[in-house]
Structures are given as C-alpha cells and as structure tokens.
C-alpha cells in the first residue's frame, strides 16, 4: 500500500458474492454504490474525477493502478463524485516527473475509499454475466456489508445530475463564437476544447431554454453527466425548445437528453460502456474510430421511427450495435454517446468539435435563427 498499516476489508455484492482485499484511501469510510468496470489502461485520475461516475464504484480491469501518481492538472472536475475505487494492485511507489502524490494519498485527501487486492478478473466476469450490481466495501462484517449493498438502488430512477452540476454560471475560453454549455456534470477536457472554439458560458442544468436563448449564443452544448436520463424530463422539455432554434451539440448524457427531447426513448444497458477502446463506426463516412466511453444508458435507435422530426443514427458501436450518435436533419443538431474529447482515451473523434464550429459559423453567416 502507499502508506500506513494494511487494513483488511471485503467487497460484498448485493447477490452475496464476497471479495477479500485490503482497504486503501479514506479510513473508516464504508463505500457503497453500483459496481461497474472500466477497461482503460491509463488515465485513472481522469476517470475517478469524471462526474459521470456519480453513484458508482469503479473497478479498474487493468491490474496495476497508480504507477504514475496523481497531479492537480489532470483532474476532470472540482472533486470526486464516484463512491469508491476497486483495484487489483495499487502501486507502492509512483514514478513520474508530473506526480505530486500517490493515488492512495489522493483518495484519502478526497475522503474517498478504495479497496485493493481484489480479483478484478472474476469481478468483471460476474458483472458481464449479471449486469451492473450494487456492492459495498469497508471494514464492516460481511453481513453488514451485504445489507449496505442490498440497500443501494443503483442508478435507475435517480437524479444524480443535481449533485454534480454547477450552482452558478461561469465563463471559460475566449473568441468570437458565443457558446452556452449546459452543465450536467461537464468534464474539464470538454471545456478546454469548447474554449478553443470561442467564449463558453457554463450554466446550471436547470437553466431554461428562454434563459439560454436570451444569452444570444451561436451554439448550445449539452454536456456529459451521470445517472438516468428518464429522471430529467424537465430538462428534456427545455432542450426540445432549443432544437431548431440554435445549433446543438451533445455528448454522453447530453446525447441521451437530446434523444428524449425529440421523442426517442432511452434504455439501460446491462453493464454499460466504460473504457478507452470501443470501436465505433461513423455511418456518414464509414470511418471506424476507437473511442472513449462512460455511460450506462443509451438512446434506442428503433424509437426513431415515426418521430415528428427527421432523425437519423450517425454512429454505431461495433461491439453491440448500440446507437452512438444521432442527427436531427434540418435543425443543425447532432450528438454522440462516446467522448470525442477523450480525457483519457484516443482522439479519433476530435473532429466533432470542428463540426460543431462549422455549424455555428454557418449560423452566424446566415444572420438568422435556424428553422
């Protein structure tokens, strides 16, 4: 472990499965939540600080985590919103010129519990066969941890966006394009890319469509975020009023909310997509991209049939056929389920930010609202 005395503990799932390990991070904290796995080989700090993991325990499938430490620059949000971290082996001595502290110390400083020594291969196979499942770990007895796990509701039917969104508007970037970004749990790397396109005003998730349009944006961005999009119908109704009024670009939860805004339905995936190696096909170009992903819900492309608007699936996940992108034709409006900004992950899909910029420029040159 990174420091201190080794503390024995256990991870217990809601089905009664038990995994023995060693507790790391914040002492005397019992962590519980929906257990998911991430297949990325690096970028553990970005993953832990991604607000989209709110309500979840993150299992890293890569066996050795923490080897290059943690630094202030690589955080994807103002803190951590996941419930805990599960690893096979925690690096004892991080080594990297950018490292400011070890992962164990970082978890403790954030009040976040972790558990190491877990058979993550067995755990991942169980999640793949049974789906994402609630769990709990800590220094309690196995029977007490089982109760904690079974009391967890998972992410179904829960509004987690309200726990991660900003409470006050703020501005990042500079430039002639004016962008309003609705914050459902926005990542720092997304803001960095948007900020390179223009001046970005980040607003709370509850901001109304009329308030957004009153800011006279050239484009509106719908951010990533955690939880069940079905619990955000009030947000979807506001997004519906933006479709056709201004160029729109959505990522992750923003994609799902756009789908629901135009009348499509969303579904929960068995164990979601979490990692940096998912193959996606851009149906508009037939190009294959390796993408970064983090979501448990998805837009049902079968529900596009019969919608009032002309909606088309633009991207598809080649692993399981899940809808990875949509376009509302005639409305200068598109979204993707994967993360083109990466952070961490490959940058194959970074061109989507340029596509958004082109839509905004076309809007500015027309001098009138989109019809």
Domain boundary among 133, 151, 169: 151
302 lies in the same domain as 354: yes
Least confident interval from 2-11, 171-180, 184-193: 2-11
255 with 145, same domain? no
Note the helical H segments in the chain: 44-48, 103-109, 120-130, 142-151, 188-197, 209-214, 233-242, 253-261, 351-366
Mean pLDDT of 77-93: 96
Per the annotation, the verdict on 341 as an active-site residue is yes
**Residue 1 domain-assigned?**
no
Domain match, 217 and 342 both: yes
Clarify whether residues 171 and 59 are in a common domain.
Answer: no
* Residue 280 maps to a domain: yes
Asked whether residue 2 is assigned to any structural domain, the reply reads no
Q: What is the CATH number of the domain that holds 349?
A: 3.40.50.880
Question: Does pLDDT of 5 surpass 70?
Answer: no
Determine, yes or no, domain membership for 48: yes
Distance CA 31, CA 25 (A): 11
Domain count of the chain? 2
Residue 188's pLDDT is what?
A: 97
Of 120, 151, 182, the residue at which a domain comes to its end is: 151
User: Domain range spanning residue 136?
Assistant: 7-151
d(CA 223, CA 107): 26
Q: What is the pLDDT of residue 137?
A: 98
- Mean of pLDDT values over 223-248: 97
Same domain, 188 and 147: no
In this structure, the answer to whether residues 170 and 123 fall within a common structural domain is no
Whether residue 156 lies inside any domain: the answer is no
* 201 tagged catalytic: no
Mean pLDDT of 235-259: 98
Domain annotation covers residue 307: yes
> Residue 316's pLDDT is what?
98
Q: What is the rounded CA–CA span in Å between residue 331 and residue 218?
A: 14
Catalytic residue among 105, 152, 238, 341: 341
| Whether residue 268 is found in the same domain as residue 195 | yes
Token couple for 307: 């919608």
Q: Is 352 helix (H, G, I), strand (E, B) or coil?
A: helix
183 in Cβ contact with 77 (< 8 Å): no
Mean pLDDT throughout 194-206?
Answer: 98
Question: Quick check: is 313 in a domain?
Answer: yes
Q: Which of 106, 124, 151 is the last residue of a domain?
A: 151
200 and 96 in a common domain: no
Q: Is the pLDDT of residue 4 over 80?
A: no
Q: What is the mean pLDDT of residues 35-64?
A: 97
Residues 121 and 168 in one domain: no
Given 46, 76, 105, 252, which residue is catalytic?
Answer: 252
Q: CA angle, corner 170, sides to 297 and 200, nearest 5?
A: 70
74: CATH: 3.50.30.20
Residues 247 and 358 occupy one common structural domain: yes
Confirm whether 323 is a catalytic residue: no
Q: What is the mean pLDDT of residues 63-77?
A: 96
Pairing of strands 287-299, 31-38: unpaired
Q: Are residues 40 and 177 in the same domain?
A: no
Residues 144 and 168 in one domain: no
pLDDT at 3 exceeding the cut of 80: no
Q: Is residue 371 in some structural domain?
A: no
CA distance 179 to 199: 6
């Amino acid at each position: 472990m990174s420091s201190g005395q080794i503390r024995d503990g256990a991870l217990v799932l809601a089905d009664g499965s038990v995994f023995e390990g060693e507790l790391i991070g914040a002492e005397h904290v019992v962590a519980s939540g929906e257990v998911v796995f991430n297949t990325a080989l690096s970028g553990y700090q970005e993953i832990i600080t991604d607000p989209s993991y709110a309500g979840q325990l993150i299992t890293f499938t890569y066996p050795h985590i923490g080897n290059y430490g943690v630094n202030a620059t690589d955080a994807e949000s103002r803190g951590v919103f996941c419930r805990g971290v599960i690893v096979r082996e925690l690096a004892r001595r991080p080594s990297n010129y950018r490292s400011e502290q070890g992962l164990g110390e970082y978890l403790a400083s954030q009040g976040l519990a972790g558990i190491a020594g877990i058979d993550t291969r067995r755990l991942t196979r169980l999640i793949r066969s049974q789906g994402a499942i609630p769990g709990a770990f800590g220094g309690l007895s196995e029977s007490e941890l089982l109760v904690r796990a079974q009391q967890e509701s998972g992410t179904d039917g829960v509004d987690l966006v309200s726990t991660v969104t900003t409470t006050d508007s703020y501005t990042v970037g500079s430039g002639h394009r004016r962008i309003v970004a609705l914050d459902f749990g926005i990542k720092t790397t997304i803001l960095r890319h948007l900020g390179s396109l223009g001046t970005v005003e980040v607003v709370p998730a509850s901001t109304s469509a009329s308030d957004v349009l009153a800011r006279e944006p050239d484009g509106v961005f719908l951010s990533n975020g955690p939880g069940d999009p079905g619990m955000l119908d009030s947000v979807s109704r506001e997004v519906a009023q933006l479709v056709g009024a201004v160029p729109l670009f959505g990522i992750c939860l923003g994609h799902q909310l756009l789908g629901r805004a135009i009348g499509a339905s969303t579904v929960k995936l068995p164990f979601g997509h979490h990692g940096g190696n998912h193959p996606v096909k851009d149906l508009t170009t037939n190009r294959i991209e390796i993408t970064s992903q983090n979501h448990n819900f998805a837009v049902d492309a079968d529900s596009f049939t019969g919608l009032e608007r002309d909606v088309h699936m633009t991207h598809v996940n080649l692993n399981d056929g899940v809808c990875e992108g949509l376009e509302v034709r005639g409305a200068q409006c598109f979204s993707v389920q994967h993360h083109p900004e990466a952070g961490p992950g490959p940058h194959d899909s970074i061109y989507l930010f340029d596509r958004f910029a082109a839509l905004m420029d076309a809007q500015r040159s027309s001098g009138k609202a989109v019809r």
